[in-house]
Amino acid sequence: MDAVTDSPSLDVSGLAFAYPDGHQALFGVDFTVARGERVALLGPNGAGKTTLVLHLNGILTGGAGTVTVAGLPVGKRHMAEIRRRVGIVFQDPDDQLFMPTVREDVAFGPAAAGMKGAELEQRVRTALELVGMADFADRPPHHLSFGQRRRVAVATVLAMEPEILVLDEPSSNLDPASRRELADILRSLDVTVLMVTHDLPYALELCPRSLILSEGVIAADGATGELLSDDVLMRAHRLELPFGFDPRSVTMGA
């Protein structure tokens, strides 16, 4: 194998960032995600999770440190390739959907990458079928419910067949069936996943490993079940399990 495919899917090193107004959100973040891993990124409101996510495909740049995706540094030089490799499902689906129809939104990324005709059509259909939204292809995204828009947003990213799938709060506002269906989709994909979530049972169910981001630094990195069972750690970072939920009683799916 060559150097690129041997590299981890994601390597973040010394990442620090302040917004233009001077507010510093990241203070030196380091972690690596191996190919095929599913990792949850946990942490309280304002911890810097979304800020970190926006660095993974170069939407935010200009701070200190480096982000490397499968051996390729995130930066101006490789931006098109980075955007193909890193599929981000944003916290708010309305930041992702801007075309007149669902079909055009899902086709947008692959079309921009040069795909067309029957191949493009098939790619769009497959992505929409995966999220159970094939019947909505001709609808305008802004006529859909929030949960439906979230599913279309996931499809826009799946259509790119990315190296790493990054999801910012994927289960928020999904009904329980859609939440479970999304979990099934994520488990079935042969892709590296980094998932930001406040839904701790979801993290435990889907991600063998978790990172806790707190006040702009990685406060913990370990097995999800162990982190969630550490009451002191959890309290220190404002993480709370749902009432009655015992992480020790849950056995992880494959």
Beta bridge partners of 167: 89, 195
* Integer Cα distance of 49 and 195 in angstroms: 10
In this structure, what token pair is assigned to residue 112?
Answer: 């921009």
Which residue's C-beta sits nearest to Mg ion?
50
Contact between 43 and ligand ATP per CB under 6 A: yes
Q: Closer CB to Mg ion, residue 50 or residue 229?
A: 50
Decide: is 126 part of the binding site for Mg ion (CB under 5 A).
no
Residue ranges with strand state E in 34-128: 38-42, 64-69, 72-73, 86-89
Q: Tell me whether residue 52 or residue 133 sits nearer to ligand ATP (CB atom).
A: 52
- The interface partner of residue 45, options being ligand ATP, Mg ion, none and the CB cut-off 5 to 8 Å by kind, is ligand ATP
- Sequence letter at residue 11: D
Site string for Mg ion, 45-84 (x = CB under 5 A): ----xx----------------------------------
Size of the site for ligand ATP (CB under 6 A): 12
Minimal distance, residue 3 CB to Mg ion, in Å: 33
How far apart (Å, rounded) are the C-alpha atoms in residues 193 and 198?
A: 16
Residues 6+ apart with CB under 8 A from 171: 179, 182, 183, 197, 199, 202
Spatial contact of 164 and 194, defined as CB atoms under 8 Å apart: yes
Residues of span 4-23 touching ligand ATP by CB under 6 A: 19, 21, 23
The number of beta carbons lying within 10 Å of the beta carbon of residue 154 is 25
Q: Phi/psi at 13 (nearest 5 deg)?
A: -135, 120
- Which of Mg ion, ligand ATP, none has residue 251 at its interface (CB below 5 to 8 Å by kind)? none
Q: Which is nearer to ligand ATP, 43 or 141 (CB)?
A: 43
Residue 218: half-sphere exposure toward Cβ, Cα within 13 Å: 17
The backbone torsions φ and ψ at residue 91, rounded to the nearest 5 degrees and listed phi first, read -55, -40
Return the one option of ligand ATP, Mg ion, none that residue 173 interacts with (CB less than 5 to 8 A, by type): none
The reply to whether 245 sits near ligand ATP by the rule CB under 6 A is: no
Kindly state the smallest distance separating residue 185's Cβ from ligand ATP, in Å: 22
The smaller minimum CB distance to ligand ATP, of residues 47 and 211, is found at 47
Cβ proximity to ligand ATP, 42 vs 165, nearer residue: 42
User: Does 2 contact ligand ATP by CB under 6 A?
Assistant: no
Output the six-digit token pair for 168: 């910012």
Q: Which spans of this chain sit near ligand ATP (rule: CB under 6 A)?
A: 19, 21, 23, 25, 43, 45-51
